[in-house]
Amino acid sequence: MNIGFVGLGIMGSPMAANLLKAGHVVTGYDVSAERVEQLAGLGGKGASSVVEAVGGADVVITMLPDSPQVEEVAPLVIEYGKPNLLYIDMSTIKPETSRRVAEQAAAAGVRALDAPVSGGERGAVDGTLSIMVGGAAEDVEAARPILESLGTTMVHVGPAGAGQTVKAANQLVVGGIYGLVAEAIVLLEASGVDPVAGLDVLAGGLAGSRILELKRHTMVKREFAPGFRIDLHHKDMGIAVAAAREAGVSLPLTGQVAQLVAAARAQGHGSLDHSALLKVIERLNA
């Protein structure tokens, strides 16, 4: 298929590369000309604007930082896309934004899906992302061959906006686990126990998780090169808290995690990986 891809950042670039490997024709655009050139170097086509990336595409994928960027780009996708275009927004944004985009798209004859992902940069590179999709069932099935090039788990979770609600749930769980792993490291070290050995045991038991599998050694070494930045997780926790308010439910642990992530950002760690929550827990114990 001819795929227009807008947003070639930490996640978008490897995702576009995997679509190329799957045999699709990918035309990419990003505000960074260097990222566009990197895609061209892999065999993709570079575009100088969103409109150029969208024109002639059978499918358009956006992978953007937040709701304002999607609200800026989506009208261009809808206006300049082909009739019956399949538009898959894989950004993590507010559920209400996804619902509004879907309504605008439907009015113009464009099929829109919200399909945020989990798995971080590693998952994007390896093509093992977990993808939660909101939208009409027939459109999800049309998107399945494309999404299966990007992830190993793809689930239709409900109507427009449902994918974003599931992603909010994902992010509150991820943030909570990072916070607890950080506390475990602080406890082990303060007690004179080797944290590497301790976390190795935890990873093999009921406390095991994907986060422990991938991040325990880098956390102990205090290596926080971003796979997913604190700044973005701060945004996502805001979405989770807002979703809880909209649903009329109390999520006290989510609120606490949101404050820890906000503290990490306030302490100047916004550009670090979200595992840098460890720095906040350490500071509380300094």
CATH number at 202 reads: 1.10.1040.10
Convert the pLDDT of each residue in 73-101 to its tens digit. Answer: 999 999 999 999 999 999 999 999 999 99
CA distances from 105 to 6, 110, 114, 223, 279 (A): 17, 5, 12, 43, 43
β-pair type (129-134, 151-158): parallel
Burial tier of 40 (Cβ tally within 10 Å: 0-12, 13-18, 19+): middle
Residue at a domain's end among 129, 159, 189: 159
Residue 227, pLDDT above cutoff 90: no
Structural domain range at position 59: 2-159
Q: Which of 45, 94, 167, 215 is catalytic?
A: 167
Answer for the pair 181, 215: CB distance below 8 angstroms, yes or no.
Answer: yes
Q: Bin 118: left if φ > 0, else alpha if -120 < ψ < 50, else beta.
A: beta
Residue at a domain's end among 122, 138, 159: 159
Statement to judge: residues 151 and 169 lie in one domain = no
Residue at a domain's end among 126, 159, 192: 159
Statement to judge: residues 21 and 57 lie in one domain = yes
Statement to judge: residues 102 and 184 lie in one domain = no
Statement to judge: residues 117 and 192 lie in one domain = no
Residue 120, pLDDT above cutoff 90: no
For the chain, the domain total comes to: 2
167 is catalytic: yes
What pTM does this model have? 0.92
Statement to judge: residues 139 and 96 lie in one domain = yes
Q: Find where tokens 């114990």 sit.
A: 285
Helices and strands in the chain, H and E counts: 13, 9
Measured between alpha carbons, how far is 75 from 1 in angstroms, rounded to an integer? 22
For range 59-86, the mean pLDDT: 96
